[in-house]
């Protein structure tokens, strides 16, 4: 360690483990000091621990991202480091943003869609056609091919 002061101008030195930390931590601080009297050594050690943690946080494990039920193709297409199995944090953030944008687009498409004009699935149309007697449906009536047609017929049937 290099010298940071001219020892010739100092009368005496106090070991940092003997200097009490008397300051207040900022609200929300990540620094955790002992409940008893913290020394400057404690402060330096805690800052060093946090810096090391920050430096070591070089990514997210790919398995952490892809084992979630809501993984998107943006996430599954991320390439993990072959040694660590981690994906760079910046790439992860970009993939998450792309996923959010994709979901926003899909939500907008759903909002713009006229759900009542949705065509019934073939299996549902077959079920409806098999119940023509119960629903008093003209089998040649094609208005029951949409959700709106089916709901209208059910409402008139239930509430004549």
Give the number of residues written for the chain.
Answer: 160
- What is the token pair recorded at 87? 């994906």
Predicted pLDDT at 150? 82
Pairwise pLDDT comparison (93 vs 1), residue with the higher score: 93
Q: Indicate whether 113 pLDDT > 70.
A: yes
Pairwise pLDDT comparison (150 vs 138), residue with the higher score: 150
Give the containing element (helix H, strand E) for 84: none
pLDDT tens digits, residue range 17-55? 788 777 777 777 777 777 778 888 888 888 888 777 766
- Please state the pTM of the whole predicted model: 0.41
Q: How much is the mean pLDDT over the chain?
A: 75
Predicted pLDDT at 8? 62
- 29: exposed, middle or buried (C-beta count within 10 Å: 0-12, 13-18, 19+)? exposed
pLDDT tens digits, residue range 52-69? 776 666 676 777 666 655
Q: Indicate whether 1 pLDDT > 60.
A: no
Q: Which of 121, 130, 71, 124 has its CA nearest to residue 96?
A: 71
């Amino acid at each position: 360690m290099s010298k940071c002061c001219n020892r010739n101008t100092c009368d005496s030195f106090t070991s940092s483990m003997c200097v009490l930390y008397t300051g207040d931590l900022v609200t929300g601080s990540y620094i955790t000091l002992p409940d008893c009297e913290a020394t400057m050594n404690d402060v330096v050690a805690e800052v060093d621990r946090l810096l090391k943690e920050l430096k070591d946080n070089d990514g997210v494990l790919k398995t952490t991202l892809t084992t979630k039920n809501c993984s998107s193709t943006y996430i599954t297409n991320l390439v993990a480091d072959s040694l660590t199995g981690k994906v760079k944090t910046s790439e992860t953030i970009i993939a998450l943003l792309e996923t959010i944008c994709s979901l926003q687009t899909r939500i907008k498409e759903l909002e713009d869609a006229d759900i009542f004009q949705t065509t019934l699935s073939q299996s549902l149309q077959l079920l409806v056609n098999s119940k023509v007697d119960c629903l008093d449906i003209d089998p040649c009536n094609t208005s029951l091919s949409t959700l709106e047609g089916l709901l209208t017929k059910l409402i008139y049937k239930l509430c004549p």
